[in-house]
Chain A
Amino acid sequence: DGGITQSPKYLFRKEGQNVTLSCEQNLNHDAMYWYRQDPGQGLRLIYYSQIVNDFQKGDIAEGYSVSREKKESFPLTVTSAQKNPTAFYLCASSRDLYMNTEAFFGQGTRLTVV
């Protein structure tokens, strides 16, 4: 089945560690996104990518990094510079960045700092 796969579902990070969240899609979508969701808040855009080897900062990019070496994959690294990383992270993809088509979302990764 076509869709977006995020892993792991739950992730625990110690203070000062970098962690990487995986996002893979087999929808042949050009655009991919990372959002952060905090309790009682909407989703906020971290990074997005329109094509391979290109990505742009969203509204809350500080403390995060991404790569887009393959069309299917858009991993997110939460670095030690992110002061409050505990949150629910959602990856999404859409057919392309300019058609305002609907985005499809993965099931999310819940990151907790211990």
Chain B
Amino acid sequence: AQKVTQAQTEISVVEKEDVTLDCVYETRDTTYYLFWYKQPPSGELVFLIRRNSFDEQNEISGRYSWNFQKSTSSFNFTITASQVVDSAVYFCALSEARTSGSRLTFGEGTQLTVNP
């Protein structure tokens, strides 16, 4: 069965610090997809990134970067020079290709608080 673990329940940083959110996953599939979503206080989930299991290239988008390592089954998310607006709950999620596509299994989320 697929599983996603986000061991950090809460993280608190001061503005401009870098912060890394950890995500470890379990799957028996060789083809799978990993996602990160942001949930601001308003409640809706905002899509950040999607990565398939065959693409281990790290990605950078502005202040955000993602480190995908199949060897350790991890897909960590780093925010550089954090800002107060980054405060939110961040979810890592996994979708297995063999189990009807877009069904997502979510981790428990990491509450990030960026203090001024």
Contacts and interface: CB of A to CB of B under 8 A. Distances in A.
Interface of A: 31, 33, 40-45, 48, 50, 56, 58, 88, 90, 92, 94, 96-108, 110
Contact of A100 (B9, B37, B102, B109): B102
A88 B76 CA distance: 26
A103 B104 contact: yes
Contacts of B42: 107
Interface of B: 4, 6, 9, 33, 35, 37, 42-47, 50, 52, 91, 95, 97, 100-104, 106-109
B108 A42 contact: yes
Contacts of A103: 45, 47, 102, 104
Q: Is the interface of B mostly helix, strand, loop or mixed?
A: loop
Contacts, number: 73
A40 B109 CA distance: 7
Contacts of A42: 4, 6, 91, 106-109
Given A31-B102, A40-B108, A94-B102, A100 B95 contact: yes
A53 to B, nearest CB: 17
B34 to A, nearest CB: 10
Contacts of B43: 88, 90, 107-108, 110
A12 B42 CA distance: 19
Contacts of B52: 100
A2 to B, nearest CB: 14
Given A42-B4, A42-B107, A96 B44 contact: no
